[in-house]
C-alpha cells in the first residue's frame, strides 16, 4: 500500500537556525518530512539548524526546499492552513489543530495535497501570507499569553496529524527500556515468599490477628510493581545482606 501523502510544513521567513532545527525534530516525531522554507533570514543551509536537529531529524533538513515566495512554495498545494493567534479581518474558517488535521486527513484521503504555514518567530504571519491560505489554525491557549514558539506550533500540528496512526495508549513493555526482561510470575512469587519469611522471623507481622491482612497487602504490593528480573535479584540481595548484618 502506498504511503499516505503528508502535509507540507512551510516556514515563512524563519529567523533562527535553531528554530528551524527544532521544527525539524518536531516534524520527525510524527513522521513529517516535507519542510519548505520561504526566504529564511540567514540563508540556507544553516549549521545551527543542523546542530539543533540532532541526529535523525537532520534528514528533514537534508530534504528541505527553499523558495523565494509563498506562492512558489504552495505551487503543488490544493489546500493550506495558516497558523496564527491574532484575530484577522480576513474571512476564513478558524480551526483548532485537532479539527484542522482531521480535515487535512480527509482531504489527503481524497487525493488532495495540503500544507500548514507557520510565520516568523517575532511577529508571525502577515495578512498577505494568511490571504493565500484556505483556513486558519488557532491553538486554544491562555488568552493572556497566546504565543507559541515555532517548534511548539509544529509539534502540536504534527501530533494532531498523526492521531489516527498513534496508539490510544503507550505500547505495553515487552522489554524494559534498559533491555531487561520483566520478572516472571514465578520470580515475583519467590521474591514475595522470601520477604514474607524473613519478615515473619523478624516479628514484623504483629499483632497476630492482623498478620493475614498484612501478608495479603504485601503480596499485592509485589505483584503490582513493574519489576524486572534484575529488580528481583536486587531485592533478594538486599534482604540477604540485611540478615547477615543483623
236, exposed or middle or buried, with CB in 10 Å at 0-12, 13-18, 19+? Answer: middle
pLDDT of residue 216: 92
Q: Is the pLDDT of residue 3 over 80?
A: no
Q: What is the phi-psi region of residue 54: left when phi exceeds 0, alpha when psi lies from -120 to 50, beta otherwise?
A: left
pLDDT of residue 2: 44
For the stretch 214-243, pLDDT in tens is: 999 998 999 888 889 899 999 988 988 888
For the stretch 19-63, pLDDT in tens is: 999 999 999 999 999 999 999 999 999 999 999 987 888 899 999
pLDDT of residue 1: 35
For the stretch 76-107, pLDDT in tens is: 999 999 998 766 677 899 999 999 999 999 99
Q: Domain map of the chain by residue range?
A: 8-164, 185-245
Q: Is the pLDDT of residue 192 over 60?
A: yes
Q: Note the Cα 223 to chain centre separation in Å.
A: 30
CATH of 8-164, one of 3.30.1330.40, 2.30.110.10, 2.160.10.10, 3.40.1280.10: 3.40.1280.10
pLDDT tier for residue 137 given thresholds of 50, 70 and 90: very high
Q: 158: closest CA among 5, 9, 4, 3? A: 9
The mean pLDDT of the chain is 89
Q: Give the C-alpha distances (Å, rounded to integers) separating 115 from 6, 55, 238.
A: 9, 25, 58
CB 95 within 8 A of CB 116: no
For the stretch 119-131, pLDDT in tens is: 998 888 999 999 9
DSSP letter (8 states) at residue 12: E
Three-state DSSP state, 139? coil
Amino acid at each position: 500500500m502506498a504511503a499516505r501523502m503528508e502535509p507540507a510544513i512551510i516556514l515563512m521567513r524563519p529567523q533562527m537556525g535553531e528554530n528551524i532545527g527544532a521544527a525539524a525534530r518536531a516534524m520527525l516525531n510524527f513522521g513529517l518530512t516535507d519542510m519548505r522554507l520561504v526566504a529564511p533570514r540567514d540563508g540556507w543551509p544553516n549549521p545551527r539548524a543542523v546542530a539543533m536537529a540532532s541526529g535523525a531529524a537532520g534528514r528533514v533538513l537534508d530534504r528541505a526546499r527553499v523558495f523565494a515566495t509563498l506562492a512558489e512554495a504552495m505551487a503543488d498545494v490544493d489546500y493550506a492552513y495558516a497558523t496564527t493567534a491574532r484575530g484577522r479581518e480576513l474571512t476564513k474558517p478558524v480551526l483548532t489543530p485537532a479539527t484542522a488535521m482531521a480535515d487535512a486527513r480527509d482531504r489527503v484521503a481524497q487525493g488532495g495535497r495540503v500544507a500548514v504555514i507557520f510565520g516568523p518567530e517575532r511577529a508571525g504571519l502577515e495578512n498577505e501570507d494568511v490571504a493565500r491560505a484556505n483556513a486558519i489554525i488557532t491553538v486554544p491557549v491562555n488568552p493572556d499569553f497566546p504565543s507559541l514558539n515555532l517548534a511548539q506550533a509544529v509539534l502540536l500540528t504534527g501530533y494532531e496529524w498523526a492521531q489516527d496512526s498513534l496508539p490510544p495508549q503507550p505500547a505495553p513493555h515487552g522489554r524494559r527500556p534498559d533491555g531487561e526482561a520483566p520478572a516472571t510470575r514465578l520470580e515475583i512469587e519467590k521474591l514475595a515468599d522470601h520477604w514474607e519469611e524473613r519478615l515473619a522471623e523478624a516479628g514484623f507481622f504483629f499483632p497476630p490477628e492482623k498478620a493475614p491482612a498484612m501478608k495479603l497487602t504485601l503480596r499485592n504490593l509485589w505483584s503490582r510493581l513493574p519489576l524486572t528480573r534484575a529488580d528481583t535479584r536486587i531485592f533478594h540481595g538486599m534482604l540477604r545482606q540485611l540478615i547477615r548484618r543483623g
